[in-house]
Amino acid sequence: METEDQKMLSNPSELPEPEEKYYEDCPIHGPWLRSVYDPKHQQYCSVLPIGCPDCRRTAQVRGLLKRVAIPPRFANCTFDTFTVESPDQKTALDTCREYADNFQQMHTKGVCMVLRGNVGTGKNHLACAVARQVSEQEGFSSLLLTVAEIIQRIRATWDRQSTETEAEIIERFAGVDLLILDEVGRQYGTEAERITLFQVIDARYRAMRPTMVISNLLPREITEYLGDAAYDRLRENGGRLVNFDWFSHRAYKEETSDYPA
């Protein structure tokens, strides 16, 4: 007994009409599929969402970076673009990648991370790579701010005309799934600054929200700057300390034109 396929093959006139695909041209990425003709229903079916898919992905990445507040200088920083030329650099890369890959677990346990070391060694590169990957995961948010920006936003609430209170700003910082504090130790280290940073770190600690700190200081200097209580909260429950103690990439670039891009 003939199957339906065999019957159609024996009678070519009964074969279904092939689909017809129509493309539009993107001046940046080339042709993209716009619609498909459905011969059975004799109609054109648009491929949704409409538009060049590569342009959409680019726009999504830009929107993501804007929400994370990644500076334009670090917009293209990923784990794959991090230069590894030593075992220590590989350790730093592997530790940060593992943290991002397992952020669900890190978030549940409130595991924090401290990236410290010399200027120009890639701390911001890997921090931005972590932030990017975390924000790409469904349900998670990340935000990168300098300590100066944190302090400025909180101090702005002291103005009588401010529509927000200090407690509301701190609560907002506490609600971000991953908060990255850059340039820790660059400020004067006054008691007021220490209290402000402790409030932010403590609020996140109590909410079980991971905090990442970026600093050029030694661990003992970070402790002195933040205070024992704040630093202990960063290291509690398996908090990661990643050392960047190799030669500065930026300094090397200034001294030679042979540095690999």
Residues 45 and 93 in one domain: no
- In the structure encoding, which two tokens stand for residue 54, read together? 């590569």
Judgement on whether residues 168 and 142 belong to the same structural domain of the protein: yes
- Read off the pTM: 0.69
Same domain, 12 and 140: no
User: In this structure, what DSSP letter does residue 72 have?
Assistant: G
Please report, in tens digits, the pLDDT of each residue of the chain (261 residues total): 544 444 443 444 444 456 688 788 888 888 888 888 777 777 777 776 778 877 766 565 454 444 556 777 777 889 999 999 999 999 999 999 999 999 999 999 999 999 999 999 999 999 999 998 998 887 888 888 899 888 888 888 888 888 888 888 888 888 889 999 999 987 776 888 888 899 999 999 999 999 999 999 999 999 999 999 999 999 999 999 999 998 776 554 444 434 343
Place of tokens 């500076």: 71
| CA separation for the pair 10, 5 (Å, rounded) | 9
- Same domain assignment for residues 130 and 26: no
Angle at 222 between CA 214 and CA 184, to 5 degrees: 40
Strand order in the sheet with 211-215: 142-146, 178-184, 211-215, 113-117, 240-244
Q: What is the CATH number of the domain that holds 161?
A: 3.40.50.300
Considering the domain architecture, whether residues 143 and 24 belong to the same structural domain is answered as no
